[in-house]
Amino acid sequence: VTVVITGRNKKRIEAAAKEIGAIPLVFDISKLDKIPAKAKRCIKLLGGKIDILVNNAGIGDFPILGDIKPENFENVFQTNVFGLALLTQEIIKPMKKQQSGTIINIGSTASLKGFARGTVYSASKFAVRSMTQCWQAELRKDNIRVCLVNPSEVTTAFNNKDREEKEKAPNKLEPNDIAHTIMSVIEMDVKGFIPEVTVWATNPF
């Protein structure tokens, strides 16, 4: 199995790739003009065939109504929505050609319900949910499955300016819990697909 992983930080992405036996590719999805070339590079590294795309890049910004500026929306949507859509648009080219593939979009429980200070972030995740449903309608005829995975709070470095992982806790979801969900979606026989799945911590309080 050949896996390409991407990320903005060269040191971190190369260390992660070495640990799991993947190919690292430094790639900032918010740089929209770079997406076609980076996508071509990904496709080449994978030998021209792509079975699975996991859209996991995401950032957050949580201003309260009254403090929101245009750049709050611009920064978050650049990564969470625009970059995600434009990259997927490139990656489906070989999937359509081979008439198979699975796309996993990482949403959030914020894709389902808004919350205080969530105007910008939740709006971006609602957009991802909508795009997922649109792509399901467009790509089923090409045997391409599209699934939205909605995690609740997970102990990652999300929204941490120092990019340090949050401490693990017995009542909090961890990255492996979401990975398990993704693998369950992928491993379903190709004649079926799961449109959307939400993962909550049983008792996070």
DSSP state of 6: E
Cross-strand pairs, 152: none
| First-last CA distance in the chain | 39
Residues tagged active-site: 121
Q: What crossing angle do the helices spanning 119-139 and 84-98 adopt, rounded to 10°?
A: 20
Cα distance between residue 153 and residue 168, in whole Å: 12
Surface-to-core class of residue 70, CB atoms within 10 Å of its CB (0-12 exposed, 13-18 middle, 19+ buried):
exposed
List for the chain the helix, strand, coil content (%; round to 5).
45, 15, 40
Which ranges in 105-196 belong to alpha helices (H)?
A: 119-139, 175-187
Are 110 and 87 in contact by the 8 Å Cβ rule? The answer is: no
